[in-house]
Amino acid sequence: MKVWVNGTLQTHEPRAGQCLRTFLRELGWFGVKKGCDAGDCGACTILLDGEPIHSCLFPATRADGREVTTIEGLAQDGALHPVQEALLRAQGFQCGFCTAGMSITIASLNQAQRGDLGWAMKGNLCRCTGYRAIEDAVNKVAHVEGGDSGSLIGRNIQAPAAVGVVTGAVPYTLDVTMTGVLHMKLVRSPHAHARIVSIDRSDALKVPGVRAVLTHEDAPERLFSTARHELKANDPDDTRVFDDVVRFIGQRVAAVVADTAAAAEDGCRKLTVTYAVLAPVFDPEAAMRPGAPLLHGDKGPQSRIANAAANVVAEIHTHVGDVEAGFDEAAFIYEGTYETPRVQHASLETFSAIAWIDKSERLNIRSSTQVPFLTRRVLCEIYDLPADRVRVFCERVGGGFGGKQEMFVEDVVALAALHLRQPVQLEFTREEQFVATSTRHPMRVTVKAGAKKDGTLTALQLHVVSNTGAYGNHGPPVLFHACGECLGVYRCANKKIDGYAVYTNTLPSGAFRGYGLPQTNFAVEQAIDALARGLGIDPFDFRRRNIIRPGDAMVSHGLDPHDVEYGSYGLDQCLDLVEAAMRDGGGPEFSPEWRLGEGVALGMIDTVPPGGHFADTTIALRADGHYELTIGTAEFGNGTSTVHAQIAATILGTGIHQIALRQSDTDHGGHDTGAYGSTGTVVAGRATQLAAEALRQHVDALADASAEGRSALVSHANAKSDDERSAALATLAEAARNAQVDLSATGFDDGRPRSVAFNVHGFKIAVNRSTGEIRILRSVQAADAGTVINPMQCRGQVEGGVAQALGAALYEELILDEGGQVINPSFRNYHIPAWGDLPRTEVLFADTSDRLGPLGAKSMSESPYNPVAAALGNALAAATGVRFRSLPFRRDRIWAALQR
Ligand code: FES
Ligand code: FES
């Protein structure tokens, strides 16, 4: 077959049934991404004879004699395509995994299509941005600032990888050609609970190309948790690489490794597994009752399960004051039970990893992970390997949102590579991503709250049942966090919490943006609203009367070490900003069948997880006139690499392009706990600040002692371009060599003490009584992010968090049938917000500077999500008089409730 790809003639025969997407990738055009392989996401979009198509749906043979343009071919004659330029100037991306397909579609739009972008772009999904920044790119709105030196704090500096992202040159996990790589596919359990009696591999091994079948008989007995935390004690050790008991539909049972993915799939079909089916339990309250089937009854205390005999992995029972006396004092009491469903991160890049043994007998893992260092640690434990025999690293990661704070692929590719001594690759399908990774913990939260006539809170009580699924990864810390800041933000003398994280035979829950707080915030912030309305007090004023102020203790369950301080406080400003925005302006006229309502909710979050979060950073001046900054934290669209470069360049008084980043590789730098809990800016950023400050001192000392060094710094200060700056720094490096001075420094931060960040969200909505439709007329979020180091990026984080939360509030829900099987494991049936689904959110920042954060900054990746569903629930209650206590607020549910 002959096909012209980006102007180059390619003469290769596709395999039978091969789609154009995999054909192009095998030719090395890695800008053609995979998000679904089902025509739903647009990550694989290319131009075929000038027309955009989803290449995953297109048979490769039909491209014979035709012209294909991928993102790599969009730029012409060395100049970026106008769409690439626009995306660069607007920074219309975060992780960038969607950008290639997005750019191709945008490049093909005609004027009429540009007039209805929601329709024209419905085939391209982005999970990170909320689409606003991409739309700005389409409309040629620029956000990136010029001038890349001087103080870079508070400026919209372009991401270091920006050009690579918009041209498709930045590699993601599987964007690499590796000779002799084998492909792995996994056999998964069809039963929610069963013991494996036998596995017959003989037929599978007869499939041509199949090299190995790996089962529990080949896997170490050692128990671990897929969750990755600095403190091992945070999660129970309840998981094996392969177990002889399966506890949810979709659990891995065996791996087939073969020369091709097709042969591995065929091998999977030929494997015969005999199961002895066990009774399952799906409801967490039923699972706690005596006589319920036990999921981990075989585990001892070393697994750190709170009560394996009742399926309880963790529980909290705590109180301050006397909650009953508090309710006696109250003039008005509200009580309600709220339910939040299973929702998924749906990062566009699915889990993937490649493992190989190198010439020096070291195990290497290239993975889509947020936690390379902690993954290496657990791999060393599982396979009894010393740390210097294992390297884990990631390239750019295509979205994470907490989901990649787990080890779902690295352990099994490591097993195969150690077994076969050949490179082995595993890439999850979108279906596997939905049925076999993790989700947000579904929770049932009963909240009871009482207040005096004047609105003073007298009692707050929470009862939480969290469904951790079949394994306890993140179960305990999510429960603790869920019960923390949502109550801690209110000044109230009497509080009581009872909480349980419970095993069931469903797919495991895990870490997800907000880490438990979105679920409890949904309940608590609606209870606060109900109290305010019940007492006839404005919800803003009710909150002002009761929120904590600097000097107040932050009291919730009181089980965490008390290391949280008011690094700065902007909650009052956030309330004022949202209230003012909501009062501002009118709106369209609606017919009487529409009811209008407004709602507000707030959220507080500790800026760092408890118990220590560590980051080592190194910075050194290289002979080529660049400062090499080595950090451990990963870049998955959170923008931390830009922030680190801004911090280092500002402190060293140089240009942003003089900072060369090396990151997320256990072979480079010291240790980094990982890019989770919003710590990339706060913890690793502080380590970068300390390293840069120490290096600045060395540089200044050199200038004092050496005329050559002094003169190099004068040249650097007078430099008019990057080239001149780099030349001056190269001279400085030479002066250091001549003076035998080491121009390198390290920084370390342990994430303590911790600060608090705040977010307030407001909605103005219209609800149609006849159809249940919700229209969002105004969406405003105010954030206390401390000093905003890169406003464009920080705004993007807020918009992305709000977009993801709106998806969860309005329609996202992973649905299980009565047998525990996920019935909507695709983007077609699990609908994440598309371009036309989202309102614009106005983002406002409080004016604060955090004394604990790097150069005054706070974290702002997770917290924007937390108040969104409650604010929408409060607006719905105001509009309809009905309080909706279950998510999502689907139109059919709203309609049915309004008919009642
Ligand atoms: S990978 Fe082709 S549409 Fe998703
Ligand atoms: S930037 Fe669009 S999916 Fe990440």
Determine the length of the chain: 900
Least confident segment among 134-138, 200-204, 578-582, 669-673: 669-673
Name the closest ligand to CA 100.
2
- Residue 748 in this model has a pLDDT that exceeds 70: yes
CA of 369 to the centre of ligand 1 (A): 22
In this structure, which residue's CA is closest to atom 4 in ligand 2?
Answer: 95
Average of pLDDT values for 177-206?
97
Please check whether residue 578 is in contact with residue 546, taking contact to mean a CB–CB distance below 8 angstroms: no
Name the closest ligand to CA 398.
2
Name the closest ligand to CA 636.
2
Residues 6+ apart with CB under 8 A from 113: 119, 120
Work out the mean pLDDT of the chain and round it to a whole number: 96
- Per-residue confidence (pLDDT) for residue 555, from 0 to 100: 83
Q: Which atom of ligand 2 is nearest to the CA of 96?
A: 1
Q: Which atom of ligand 1 is nearest to the CA of 55?
A: 2
Nearest one of 514, 618, 561 to 751, comparing CA atoms: 561
Q: Which atom of ligand 2 is nearest to the CA of 35?
A: 3
CA of 840 to the centre of ligand 1 (A): 26
Q: Which atom of ligand 1 is nearest to the CA of 34?
A: 1
- Per-residue confidence (pLDDT) for residue 302, from 0 to 100: 95
504-548 per-position pLDDT tens digit: 999 999 999 999 999 999 999 999 999 999 999 999 999 999 999
Residues with CB under 6 A from ligand 2: 93-98, 126-129, 348, 399, 637
Q: Which atom of ligand 1 is nearest to the CA of 39?
A: 3
261-317 per-position pLDDT tens digit: 999 999 999 999 999 999 999 999 999 999 999 999 999 999 999 999 999 999 999
44 CB less than 6 Å from ligand 1? Answer: yes
Is residue 17 left, alpha or beta, with left meaning phi > 0 and alpha meaning psi from -120 to 50?
left
Separation between Cα atoms, residue 675 and residue 195, nearest integer Å = 36
Please check whether residue 613 is in contact with residue 676, taking contact to mean a CB–CB distance below 8 angstroms: no
Please check whether residue 192 is in contact with residue 271, taking contact to mean a CB–CB distance below 8 angstroms: no
- Per-residue confidence (pLDDT) for residue 155, from 0 to 100: 94
- Residue 560 in this model has a pLDDT that exceeds 70: no
For a substitution probing ligand 2, which of 45, 129, 166, 799 has the most ligand atoms within 8 Å of its CB?
129
CA of 123 to the centre of ligand 2 (A): 14
- Per-residue confidence (pLDDT) for residue 888, from 0 to 100: 98
122-160 per-position pLDDT tens digit: 999 999 999 999 999 999 999 999 876 678 999 999 999
Average of pLDDT values for 374-403?
96
212-227 per-position pLDDT tens digit: 999 999 999 999 999 9
Nearest one of 173, 160, 6, 172 to 88, comparing CA atoms: 160
- Per-residue confidence (pLDDT) for residue 603, from 0 to 100: 98
CA of 321 to the centre of ligand 1 (A): 55
- Per-residue confidence (pLDDT) for residue 585, from 0 to 100: 73
Report which secondary-structure segment, H or E, holds 693.
helix 679-705
3-state helix/strand/coil string of 810-862:
HCCCCCECCCCCECCCCCCCCCCCCHHHCCCCEEEECCCCCCCCHHHECCCCC
In this structure, which residue's CA is closest to atom 3 in ligand 1?
Answer: 39
Bridge pairing between strands 627-631 and 615-621: antiparallel
The DSSP output letter for 72 is G
Separation between Cα atoms, residue 424 and residue 411, nearest integer Å = 12
CA of 757 to the centre of ligand 2 (A): 25
Please check whether residue 530 is in contact with residue 870, taking contact to mean a CB–CB distance below 8 angstroms: no
769-792 per-position pLDDT tens digit: 999 999 999 999 999 999 999 999
Nearest one of 626, 618, 255 to 415, comparing CA atoms: 255
Three-class DSSP category at 107:
helix
3-state helix/strand/coil string of 746-763:
EEEECCCCECEEEEEEEE
